[in-house]
Amino acid sequence: MRKLRELRLMATGAWVTIILLGLAPASASSANISHSYHATTSITNGSIVSLEPQSSGYIQPSNITNGARLLGVALADNDSLLAVDPTAGTVQVATSGTVNTLVSTLNGNINVGDQITVSPFNGIGMKATPGSHVIGLAQTTLNPQSAGATTQQVKNKAGKTSRITVSYIRLSIATGIDTAAASTTSNSLQRLVQSLTGSTVSTARIVLSLIIAFVALIALIVLIYASIYSSIISIGRNPLAKYAVTKTLGAVLVMALLTTITASVTIYFLLK
């Protein structure tokens, strides 16, 4: 998935396994047709899957690293109107119709009509952002109050903790790319910031953060340069002024530190 590429969440797989085992589809799927594929790992019904690049006829759970090879949604043999070659040891994958699909609120609550894409968690989808590869359209909603939903805490690689909800929704399969209006520059900025913070941030907030960082950097350079330059001149003219100059230099450095802290906190809350 190009939109959310390089995002990494440092969450253990244990809680994901518990969620997948504890959740159950609310009703039978109604895919028009499904095909049989092989898999080298266990795939839970409702998982979003992608084609394996090196092995023909094999699939793997989808995530942000293989979203460009999206195929469909895994389901039980009896949940398909027509299951092609449902042999033992294979996985049925629906590539059309409506199926129960595992999703999370990692990128926000899901409403009816939202496009769904892959997430950093294997097989679990989330709300799509402009330019991402999508698996289909949500036919039902998902939020923390949804019946049967499970809420968990996760951490991204920056150590930021957030709570997400995981459950099944009804999904109308329609693979493609979210073509919502967004400029190339904003997409690149959002991808970069999302890889660092683990959350989606608007372009306006990113630009404002960059402006604050730039202004703070210029202010620090001016403060430090001016204080050092003035100190050298003062000591050269009057060696006895060393104590007063040192005291003034310390005050300037404290101001520089406070400027850095203020800018950092402001940027943090803008990108949070």
Measure the CA–CA gap between 220 and 260, rounded to whole angstroms: 8
pLDDT at position 114: 92
Give me the phi and psi of 218, to 5 degrees please.
-60, -40
Residue 127 has a pLDDT of 93
CA separation for the pair 30, 34 (Å, rounded): 10
CA dihedral (66, 59, 69, 202) in degrees, to 10, reads -40
Q: Residue 228, SS3?
A: helix
pLDDT, residue 28, reads 47
pTM for the full model?
A: 0.57
Structure tokens belonging to residue 264:
């950092």
Radius of gyration of the chain from its Cα atoms, rounded to whole angstroms: 26
Long-range Cβ contacts of 255-258 (<8 Å, 24+ apart): 255/223, 256/219, 256/220, 256/223, 256/224
From first to last of its 272 residues, the chain has per-residue pLDDT tens of: 444 444 444 343 434 443 444 444 544 445 567 889 999 989 999 999 999 988 888 999 999 899 889 999 998 877 777 777 777 788 999 988 889 999 999 989 999 999 999 998 899 999 998 888 899 999 999 998 888 888 888 776 666 777 889 999 999 998 887 655 444 444 566 667 666 666 666 777 778 888 888 888 888 888 777 777 777 776 666 665 666 667 777 777 788 788 888 888 887 777 76
The Cα 271–Cα 66 span in angstroms is 27
Is residue 150 within 8 Å of residue 19, measured between CB atoms? Answer: yes
Which secondary-structure segment (H or E) carries 155?
strand 150-155
Residue 144 has a CB neighbour count (10 Å cut-off) of 13
Q: Where are the alpha helices (DSSP H) in the chain?
A: 13-22, 184-197, 203-237, 242-271
In 3D space, the residue among 37, 76, 34, 43 whose CA is nearest the CA of residue 58 turns out to be 37
